[in-house]
A and B are shown apart, each in its own frame.
Chain A
Amino acid sequence: MMEHLYYDAAAMDLLRTTRNTLSNRTGSWRHMRPEFGLKAAACAAACPAGNPIARFMAAASDGRFEEALRELKKENPLPGVCGRVCPRPCEAACNRAEFDEAVGTRAVERLLGDMGAEFGLCLPATMGKTGKRVAVAGSGPAGLSCAYHLALSGHDATVFEAGGEPGGLLRFGIPAYRLPREALDRELGFIDALGINMKTGCRADAALAARLLDEFDAVVAATGALVSPGLGIEGEGLAGYFKGLEFLAAANAGEASGIGKSVIVIGGGNTAVDAARCALRLGAEDVTVMYRRGREDMPASDEEVAEAQEEGVKFVFHAAPAKLVGEGGRLRGVALMRMKPGEPDESGRRKPEPVAGSEREAHADAVIEAAGGRADNPFGRALEVDEWGATDNEKLFVCGDAAPGARTVASAIGGGKRAAIMADVFLRELDIKEVKRKVLVGGNGAASAAAHREGEAAPGADGSVVRFKNVNTAYFSRAARAAKLERLSPEARVAGFDEVSAVCGSAAETARAEASRCFRCGECDDCGNCLVFCPDMSIIGKAAAVGAAPGFDGDYCKGCGICARECPRGVIRMIEEER
């Protein structure tokens, strides 16, 4: 009936296409290509300990705290310590600071570290035993980190500690009000868990040093910089004169006495501030920190200085002692000189010069010298140490304050890790150039021990660091910092050695909220933007591996660069095509 209504398509002679366009390789148009690969976040590149910040933030933002702590422990055995005492170079470098406010990374690290009370040590898997024996002299943060990473790499580590308990500077140098002993001891559980041989009461003197070099397959010196140079002025023999580290060690052991009512601390670093705050807690009423330069040149952390001021510590700048004044062998005060900034020295700071005729006397019952300590390495005073901790002796490595470089706990942890990697390279006879090329986070930062153990490249090892301009902020919304610190009242603080600060709110909620603020720069979280926004269907979905970035189809990708522009976290960058 209706047949006459139909046209015969063949009779109409319509042109018909016969195939799709897959034979048309539009990749030949391309002059730029996307390069995928995990990059280092600015924070990670700035972290001296090499913490995998974006990685643990990803887990913590999901409430997977045990996994987050496990990620952290792959690089750093002491998150509960760093989470308290670190001066936060990560937060200073945080890309989010240019968006609203830097992520409270240290607070998250602290919360995760303390969650170890619930989740246990969360240690990474150890590699098979090598049978190699490594001696580590010193159990401060550098020695501990070194022994930890050596043990994880399958070596037998033996640590020699002069004191009665492991911890070195963490135990005798950092007061309990900043680092409660239970937080330290909990994380030191790894010593037994990893079978590290801890020999306390063993001071590494020259004789022991020689023996270790003789008996062990490799030796690491992490003996610190504990020799006080003294003030070099008249009156250092008077009663009432203390050396900073010795005073701190006595105070931290509960054995300090004879401090009196008025105390002057000479120095501008954290040791000076710690000594002053300890003096207050030991009953001193009038405590002054005296520094020969200005406030802006003070190496002590701003936070420590502010807390000390709240507690009543006074700061006097541009002043230096000329001599200590005593009566009958007992200190009475200090003869001071006013100082003025002169020409810049090698540190770039202006060298203080005394002002003629400015001498006056200040009363003090005690004077604590807290200028920085000097290393006295029992393995050789004039030892040349490179930035990896290697020395001319192929089996001897140096790390921590005994080696050149910044003197923070995080730097010591990073230095210990580098020395452990170098020792591992030596013991396993690995290709040292290859390892050095692959393990540095951001190509220039701390080493990643996890990358070394797994034989992979550290994030951004080729030097690619994600900066704020690489972050696409269209995919993030503004959010105020969730992790804030609350502090005891100044009166409650100076009454004892209770911990001064705590992170506000419930640990789980705060950690999760703060971690959610992290951009997770350089870390692919499978958001799918590159897949969805590719006009040429040329993104190949990512591999199953966690955090692995996707790849691209070179046969068809025209190199438009939308994927790189729309990647929220800078995982993709465009590079010149090689032709």
Chain B
Amino acid sequence: MKRARMENELVSKGHVACPGCGAALAMRYVLSVLGPKTIIVLPACCWSVITNRHPECCLEVPVFHTAFETAACVASGVRAALEVKGDNDTNVLAWAGDGGTFDIGLQALSGAAERNDDIIYVCYDNEAYMNTGVQRSSATPWGAWTTTTPATHFKGQEKKNIMEIMAAHRIPYAATASISMPEDLMAKVERARDTRGTRFLHIFCPCPTGWRSSPDLTIELARAAVESRAFPLYEIFDGAKRRLSLDPAPPAPVADYIRPQGRFRHLDSEQIEAIQNRVDEEWLSLLRLIENNPA
């Protein structure tokens, strides 16, 4: 395997992410491509804690901490201010978790996307409100334990399909990515950087703390999600044309991905079978969308 090239290292040591944090890796990869000429807009999320207490910040680029629901609109404002100053080449990066994207920030995101404001919006998805103590979000998958969906009443709803929501806004570029495949992830950040308008990246980031998984398994789980097709890697151009980034054929059983995680420990084999069937269906419908309008 060839080593993934890291152009820039803009996250400094001493940040306070939990051991084995997937979100910390996602930031490393994205900033490595975007470089120092980047302004980050950071709503409430794990990363607003990871940067460490005032007056320290582990990010070597300007960061604007803002309210939970405002990542996209503040990013739109930063872009507008830069335009007034005549600066068109600084990247404006809204960096929000799944709670700040799928739930609380969805309205602001929808507004920015509808205006096609010139921002890169990254949702690093760890599938629950992790830094506040693992509460369920609309990105939490069916069957998962969280502190608000205890094992006896595990989450009974499916994960929201945020990619299709973004596609419906007809933004120029949207893509899913996994921290287990940094080359693919960084290639997508590059594509996003070189596109204008609203760009959306959905990055899958295992969370050892909230998933009740061993910290050394972070990459392995991210990879298992892709290899089992539970988290497909693909791109959507102009809300219409789609392209699969990787076809894991034959796919690994979804149980390989589910079993090592404590948040699914209560599930019996029938319930895991149900997840498998759901993954298979979703995969087929994604393939159909891609066939209908390939990029």
Using CB atoms and an 8 Å cutoff, list the residues of chain A in contact with chain B.
Answer: 2, 5, 15-26, 29-30, 474-475, 526-529, 531-533, 535-538, 553, 555-556, 558-562, 564-566, 568, 574
Q: Tell me, in angstroms, the Cα distance from A155 to B108 when the chains sit together.
A: 81
Are A24 and B14 CB-contacts (below 8 A) given A533-B219, A561-B20, A561-B216? yes
* Cβ contacts under 8 Å, B24 to chain A: 535-536
Contact A474 B216 (CB under 8 A): no
Q: Tell me, in angstroms, the Cα distance from A561 to B55 when the chains sit together.
A: 30
> B3-26 vs A: 1/0 string, CB under 8 Å?
110100101111111111110110
Additional A-B contact list (7), CB under 8 Å, known A535-B21, A535-B25, A560-B216? A22-B13, A24-B56, A26-B13, A532-B4, A535-B19, A553-B13, A561-B216
User: Whole-angstrom distance from the CB of A478 to the nearest CB of chain B?
Assistant: 12
Can you list 25 pairs linking A and B with CB atoms under 8 Å apart? Answer: A2-B84, A17-B56, A17-B63, A20-B58, A21-B13, A21-B51, A23-B14, A29-B19, A474-B223, A535-B17, A535-B24, A535-B28, A536-B15, A536-B24, A537-B11, A537-B13, A555-B13, A556-B14, A559-B19, A560-B218, A561-B214, A562-B219, A565-B219, A566-B220, A568-B1
> B204-237 vs A: 1/0 string, CB under 8 Å?
0000100000111111100100000000000000
Q: Tell me, in angstroms, the Cα distance from A198 to B25 when the chains sit together.
A: 63
Listed residue (B28, B52, B55, B219) with the most chain A CB atoms within 10 angstroms of its CB: B219
Contact A560 B215 (CB under 8 A): yes
| Number of chain B residues whose Cβ lies closer than 8 Å to a Cβ of chain A | 40
> B24-63 vs A: 1/0 string, CB under 8 Å?
1100100000000000000000000001101111101001
Of B6, B19, B52, the residue contacting A532 (CB under 8 A) is B6
Of B12, B21, B84, the residue contacting A21 (CB under 8 A) is B12
Q: Is B97's CB within 8 Å of the partner chain A?
A: no
Are A536 and B13 CB-contacts (below 8 A) given A20-B57, A561-B215, A574-B216? yes
* Cβ contacts under 8 Å, B22 to chain A: 535
Closest 4 CB pairs of A and B: A528-B3, A561-B216, A21-B14, A560-B20
User: Whole-angstrom distance from the CB of B84 to the nearest CB of chain A?
Assistant: 7
Contact A20 B14 (CB under 8 A): yes
User: Whole-angstrom distance from the CB of B97 to the nearest CB of chain A?
Assistant: 16
Q: Tell me, in angstroms, the Cα distance from A26 to B57 when the chains sit together.
A: 14
Q: Is B105's CB within 8 Å of the partner chain A?
A: no
User: Whole-angstrom distance from the CB of B181 to the nearest CB of chain A?
Assistant: 10
Contact B58 A21 (CB under 8 A): yes
Q: Tell me, in angstroms, the Cα distance from A123 to B60 when the chains sit together.
A: 52
Contact A527 B3 (CB under 8 A): yes
Q: Is B182's CB within 8 Å of the partner chain A?
A: yes
Listed residue (A15, A475, A532, A555) with the most chain B CB atoms within 10 angstroms of its CB: A532
User: Whole-angstrom distance from the CB of B265 to the nearest CB of chain A?
Assistant: 20
* Cβ contacts under 8 Å, A532 to chain B: 3-4, 6, 182
Q: Tell me, in angstroms, the Cα distance from A574 to B215 when the chains sit together.
A: 12
Contact A528 B217 (CB under 8 A): no
Q: Tell me, in angstroms, the Cα distance from A24 to B6 when the chains sit together.
A: 24
Contact A21 B215 (CB under 8 A): no
Q: Tell me, in angstroms, the Cα distance from A20 to B219 when the chains sit together.
A: 27
Contact A24 B1 (CB under 8 A): no
* Cβ contacts under 8 Å, A23 to chain B: 14, 56
Q: Tell me, in angstroms, the Cα distance from A538 to B19 when the chains sit together.
A: 12
Of A26, A474, A565, the residue contacting B14 (CB under 8 A) is A26
User: Whole-angstrom distance from the CB of B216 to the nearest CB of chain A?
Assistant: 3
* Cβ contacts under 8 Å, B14 to chain A: 20-26, 556
Are A20 and B19 CB-contacts (below 8 A) given A527-B1, A533-B219? no
List the A residue with the shortest CB-CB distance to B186: A532
* Cβ contacts under 8 Å, B52 to chain A: 21, 24
Are A22 and B12 CB-contacts (below 8 A) given A562-B219, A565-B217? yes
* Cβ contacts under 8 Å, A21 to chain B: 12-16, 51-52, 56-58
User: Whole-angstrom distance from the CB of B256 to the nearest CB of chain A?
Assistant: 11
Are A566 and B219 CB-contacts (below 8 A) given A21-B58, A537-B11? yes
* Cβ contacts under 8 Å, B51 to chain A: 17, 21
Q: Tell me, in angstroms, the Cα distance from A531 to B4 when the chains sit together.
A: 9
User: Whole-angstrom distance from the CB of B183 to the nearest CB of chain A?
Assistant: 9
Q: Tell me, in angstroms, the Cα distance from A573 to B174 when the chains sit together.
A: 38
Contact B4 A528 (CB under 8 A): yes
Contact B217 A533 (CB under 8 A): no
Q: Tell me, in angstroms, the Cα distance from A537 to B8 when the chains sit together.
A: 12
* Cβ contacts under 8 Å, A5 to chain B: 84
* Cβ contacts under 8 Å, A533 to chain B: 25, 182, 219
